[in-house]
Amino acid sequence: MDRTLLKKGLRPTKQRSCVYETLLERKDHPTADEILLRVRKKLPTISLATVYNCLETLADCALIRQVNFDRSPSRFCANLSPHAHFICSRTGEIHDLNLSNKDILKLKSILPNGFQVDDFDLTFNGTT
Amino acid sequence: MDRTLLKKGLRPTKQRSCVYETLLERKDHPTADEILLRVRKKLPTISLATVYNCLETLADCALIRQVNFDRSPSRFCANLSPHAHFICSRTGEIHDLNLSNKDILKLKSILPNGFQVDDFDLTFNGTT
DNA sequence: AATCAAATTAGAATAATTCCAATTACAACT
DNA sequence: AGTTGTAATTGGAATTATTCTAATTTGATT
């Protein structure tokens, strides 16, 4: 991670490292508020603004991903491999559905000619 | 539309009708603010709160769809047939990509066994 | 015409996020 | 080691989309 930041002329501060490591610890999808709570166990004085700053920086460096479900608070995760999300309407659980190359080709096959895709978001709602 | 509302015990008021017809007029994806501006040409005294109320009611009745891109203001459209969205990062244009049954089966084939889908959101980002 | 629930309205409240100005931290020079 | 300059952090204010609230209006039904 330090490498990636330094390459962009950004400092791997303890706040940034801690936010990043906190996201690695668990494979869930915490909000900025939840991340603040977790990070404060290690850095009790970190501010919410800094958490937002760190998350933005890490996302800009493609070290983490920001995920939005409708207009609810943004969530963040360190799973960088291409995946879709499944939200269970009973439990509220968010599942990562990792996508094979085949899956990705299927997705792209939906596009008419001449559409160049940089990125996509795919979210399912339902029950498990 | 009146039918659908009445069936649910809701009144087809002139505000609701006007919001609905405004969405039918153009096949774009206006925000509540933009809808307010358009609707005010016909009902100059309608309030933003009412526009929000009408949109919520119409969406609850499945007469329109609410669409969210990341955390930007919600957008609304009257295209009810299953479709994905493509956002052009150059122009900001939002394209509807209507999905065939085949496309939908492809999408669902991504899911592991035991996942029951009620709905999905698929958005592509790229250039045309 | 009187009644009553539903809908509309203006403005206040909320909540997530961003902005701002002041402080702090740190790397690079002397 | 001390100084300097830039970047990062911080707390709180500001912003923005949306929801809430309480008062008024509407319109169907008695």
**How would DSSP label each residue in A52-84?**
HHHHHHHHHTTSSEEE--TTSPPEEE---S-EE
Whether B99 sits inside 8 A of A117 (CB atoms) is no
Q: What is the pLDDT of residue B71?
A: 96
> Could you tell me the pLDDT band of residue B52, with boundaries at 50, 70 and 90?
very high
Contacts of B119 in chain A (CB under 8 A): 124-126
- Give distance CA B49 / C1' C13 (Å): 14
- Give distance CA A58 / C1' D8 (Å): 14
Q: With a cut of 90, say whether residue A124 has pLDDT above it.
A: yes
User: Do residues A121 and B122 touch, judged by C-beta distance below 8 A?
Assistant: yes
> Could you tell me the pLDDT band of residue B23, with boundaries at 50, 70 and 90?
very high
Q: What is the pTM of this model?
A: 0.92
Paired with A116 in beta bridges are B127
First to last CA, chain B: 35
Average pLDDT over residues B64-73: 97
Q: What is the residue whose two structure tokens read 């609850």?
A: B60
> Could you tell me the pLDDT band of residue A65, with boundaries at 50, 70 and 90?
very high
Average pLDDT over residues A85-97: 95
- Give distance CA A19 / C1' D4 (Å): 30
Nearest C-alpha in B relative to A74: B71
Whether A111 sits inside 8 A of B124 (CB atoms) is yes
Q: What is the pLDDT of residue A128?
A: 87
Whether A128 sits inside 8 A of B117 (CB atoms) is no
Beta strands in A1-128 (DSSP E): 65-67, 75-77, 83-88, 94-98, 116-127
